[in-house]
Structure 1
């Protein structure tokens, strides 16, 4: 069984969001990698204050290629685990035959998938903001507290944003690609949060049900109280343990 994991973070984060998860899986015998997207590796506070100018030109395809090249250096095909937009990156990498197994946690949708849900529509419209000419995106404490860290107090949200979040390229979210849902693929699991306002459970379910190849397996699990902040929300170990058992089953 594959014992290598690659974690892929989402939009406005870097690999620091996986710190506790990395330790969790290493303690269970896995070799864990958590590379950041291009131009997002390093100290969060420094990246908040001085983002790399090249970040503004980064596209979805660039990020996928970055991970594809990284995976090619490993000694075995890894288990891929991605959060939020990182889940869509995992879907694309799995389509490219880069995964032994794959897990999408609170995943955003690939191009062509959407739902009629007020929070989903408003949060993503604010995120993409077609009226803004800013090349990068870093949402406010208020936005995070409403759509991501609704499990926390507002003061806790401010601390979370300072510790884990940073500007990201608007082009990455604008250039998200479609997925070939008819193509055979490795074993795939979608994890959704019943309290997720940014990427609600029903968009994760729709994503999972979009796969049509009868020879490939797609599993789905919804944790009722989990928000979009599930990686760092109290009780995150329950989600990590479920994934660990799924991977090993």
Structure 2
């Protein structure tokens, strides 16, 4: 660790508010880092405000979000570490591939261009947004049952419902449409430069019971980096679902990330 605390930018994915990273922020600050957890462009400051004003984030796409977080990371300096979950993981990969950040961790990252597996569980998880083409320019909310399937399937129903009430917000559907079409679009915003040399180390994390980003998708993402000489590793958490950053076992994941960052000198 450098004498000056290393900045860390936490990037959340769809349907969770930025404040869902608060326990991580506290743990990383206690470990000597200088963490921040900004919201997506136009995201209201609280869960309640976000639910009351869903149109604030409607039509935000991958490129708009990537540009937003790129400016934040650049403002914090070259030593910044990027940690993202779900679409936040895709954004962390994308920024690292653009030479932004000293290293990155992508937890259950949304599929990037080139990833081919499309399990039925993933299709079902994305259906609340993708099921209606008119949602492309809208913000979409999940029901408790939809959250239970996509996020909380590996915890009991009471915990899933509590997490839903505490952290969920309406999110733009556009990134899901962009990722779904990525392999059919030449200049897809879901494309990541997986061959960039040099770049900082990258850790991919997968929950083996994840429905939203199944383990096979994350393993396929790892294969996209096979031609890179930079450090790219995968850590799997057995029996964990998409809620692994916010449920009762979040600390195990956070500690594994801290351990990996120290091993990389970050």
Identify the TM-score tier after normalising by the shorter chain: over 0.9
Shift of the 115–91 alpha-carbon distance from structure 1 to 2, 3 Å rule, reads same
> So what's the TM-score if we normalise by structure 2?
0.87
1:225-240 alignment, distance < 5 Å: 225-240=239-254
- Report the more deviating stretch, 216-225 or 157-166: 157-166
The equivalent residue for 2:183 is: none
SS of residue paired to 1:25? helix
SS of residue paired to 2:235? strand
Shift of the 236–64 alpha-carbon distance from structure 1 to 2, 3 Å rule, reads same
Q: Gapped runs of 5+ residues in structure 2?
A: 180-189
- Report the more deviating stretch, 110-119 or 239-248: 110-119
SS of residue paired to 1:139? coil
- Runs (4+) off by over 4 Å: 131-134
* 1-structure distance, mates of 2:24, 2:150: 22
The equivalent residue for 2:113 is: 111
The equivalent residue for 1:85 is: 87
User: Is 2:238 the partner of 1:248?
Assistant: no
CA contact (8 A) 2:84 2:91 kept: yes
RMSD: 1.8
* 2-structure distance, mates of 1:156, 1:246: 28
* 1-structure distance, mates of 2:122, 2:60: 24
1:216 to 219, 230, 246: 230
- Report the more deviating stretch, 129-138 or 166-175: 129-138
CA contact (8 A) 2:129 2:176 kept: no
Deviations 1:90-134 (A, max 9, x none): 011001111101100111101342314221222223432234447
* 1-structure distance, mates of 2:129, 2:115: 17
Post-superposition shift, 1:156? Answer: 3.1
Q: Gapped runs of 5+ residues in structure 1?
A: none
The equivalent residue for 2:182 is: none
SS of residue paired to 2:233? strand
Deviations 1:175-222 (A, max 9, x none): 342112222232100010011111111111110111133421110010
> So what's the TM-score if we normalise by structure 1?
0.93
* 2-structure distance, mates of 1:83, 1:93: 14
* 2-structure distance, mates of 1:60, 1:194: 25
CA contact (8 A) 2:78 2:100 kept: no
1:1-249 alignment, distance < 5 Å: 1=1, 3-51=6-54, 53-133=55-135, 135-176=138-179, 177-184=190-197, 185-249=199-263
Shift of the 57–146 alpha-carbon distance from structure 1 to 2, 3 Å rule, reads closer
* 2-structure distance, mates of 1:57, 1:243: 32
- Report the more deviating stretch, 55-64 or 19-28: 55-64
* 1-structure distance, mates of 2:95, 2:256: 22
* 2-structure distance, mates of 1:61, 1:182: 20
Shift of the 105–35 alpha-carbon distance from structure 1 to 2, 3 Å rule, reads same
SS of residue paired to 1:189? strand
